[in-house]
Amino acid sequence: MSAAAAWARRYGALIRNAWLIDLQYRASILLWVLWGVTEPAIALGIWWAIAGAGDVDGYARADFARYFFAMMLVNQLTIAWDSWYLDGWIRNGELNFRLARPLHPAHEATADNIAYKARSGSIIIVVWLVVAAVWPAVRLPFDPARWALTAVAVLFAAGLRFLISFTTGLLAFWTTRATAIMELHAGIAMFLAGRIAPLALLPPPIAHLASVLWFRPMLAFPVEVLTGAVTGSAALLQGFVAQAFWLAVWYGACRLAWQRGLLRYGAVGG
């Protein structure tokens, strides 16, 4: 069997298992998706009321509607829970059997992410299509080129959020508060990644900070690509370069944390 076929079979088996486990927890999956819909719906409700008949810095009601529907989808396609899993693996000793088998635990985490995103993303797309059928405001123009660019931006963002979550989870090698650090990051990202409001509406210094750091690349940028807020090849290129840059930085941090963490695991036992 070729190496590619072996990897395809491994990922297939891991994704299949993840879906089988999901089927055991239908209610909790539904609650998570509901939460994924509720948060942007609340933000949309607030901005809808503020915008009224006019607009806020160029954002009219329909723009907010499109923005938060795009946010809902992109968030589900990029969100990563790995820090919680890793924290458990490391602290409960479940990392041991994972280290003893010929598969880096990052592959299991990646496959879990693919399984989760395929499932949640498809539910959100159905929700969006149903809503768009009755509410023209949230419809997007037919633009395959933009969708293709969005797909790339979403892929980069998903990779970035995965690496951030995985790396933060690895902090469990040193501290029992790894998930608390991740929650703190999520709290900051609520504002800086565009979940509460489009970055264009934040005070300029804060919006600038979000763009300089990894917060815009990890979520707001693909949303802006999908809604058409980023126009012109220079702006697009700049966004993709920022994504690639932060991907590389977090990949390096992840490798370092993994290597150092394993040494530390070896030094204190597990």
Partner 1 sequence: MPPAIIAQSLSKTFRVKVRDPGLAGAVRALVRPRYRAVQAVREVSFEIVPGEIVAFLGPNGAGKTTTLKMLAGLLYPTSGQVRVAGFEPWSGGAAFKRRIALVLGNRQQLVWDLPAEETFLLNRAIYDIAERDFRERLAELVDLLGLAAVVDKPVRQLSLGERMKCELAAALLHRPPILFLDEPTLGLDVSAQDAIRRFLGAYRDRHGAAILLTSHYMQDVTALASRVIMINRGRLLYDGALDALVARIAPTKRLELVLGGPVRQESLAAFGTVHSFRFPNAVLDVPRETAAATSARLLAGLPVADLSIADPPIEEVIRLAFAEGGESE
31 forms part of the interface with partner 1 (CB under 8 A): no
Question: Collapsing DSSP states into helix, strand and coil, what is residue 139?
Answer: coil
30 forms part of the interface with partner 1 (CB under 8 A): no
Query: What is the C-alpha separation between 4 and 102, in angstroms, rounded?
Result: 16
Tell the smallest beta-carbon distance from residue 71 to partner 1 (Å). 32
Tell the smallest beta-carbon distance from residue 266 to partner 1 (Å). 4
Smaller CB distance to partner 1: residue 20 or 249?
A: 20
Tell the smallest beta-carbon distance from residue 167 to partner 1 (Å). 21
Binding letters toward partner 1, positions 210-249, x by CB under 8 A: ----------------------------------------
Question: Collapsing DSSP states into helix, strand and coil, what is residue 28?
Answer: helix
Query: What is the C-alpha separation between 160 and 132, in angstroms, rounded?
Result: 30
Smaller CB distance to partner 1: residue 172 or 225?
A: 172
Smaller CB distance to partner 1: residue 55 or 94?
A: 94
Query: What is the C-alpha separation between 49 and 30, in angstroms, rounded?
Result: 28
The H or E element containing residue 259 is helix 233-268
Please say whether the beta carbons of 225 and 149 come within 8 A: yes
Footprint (CB under 8 A) of partner 1, residues 178-217: none
Binding letters toward partner 1, positions 102-131, x by CB under 8 A: xx----------------------------
Tokens of 211: 């763009």
Query: What is the C-alpha separation between 100 and 116, in angstroms, rounded?
Result: 25
Please say whether the beta carbons of 72 and 121 come within 8 A: no
Q: Which of 10, 119, 139, 185 binds partner 1 (CB under 8 A)?
A: 10
Query: What is the C-alpha separation between 104 and 195, in angstroms, rounded?
Result: 32
20 forms part of the interface with partner 1 (CB under 8 A): yes
Q: Which residues bind partner 1 (CB under 8 A)?
A: 1, 6, 9-10, 12-14, 16-17, 20-21, 24-25, 92-94, 96-103, 263, 265-270
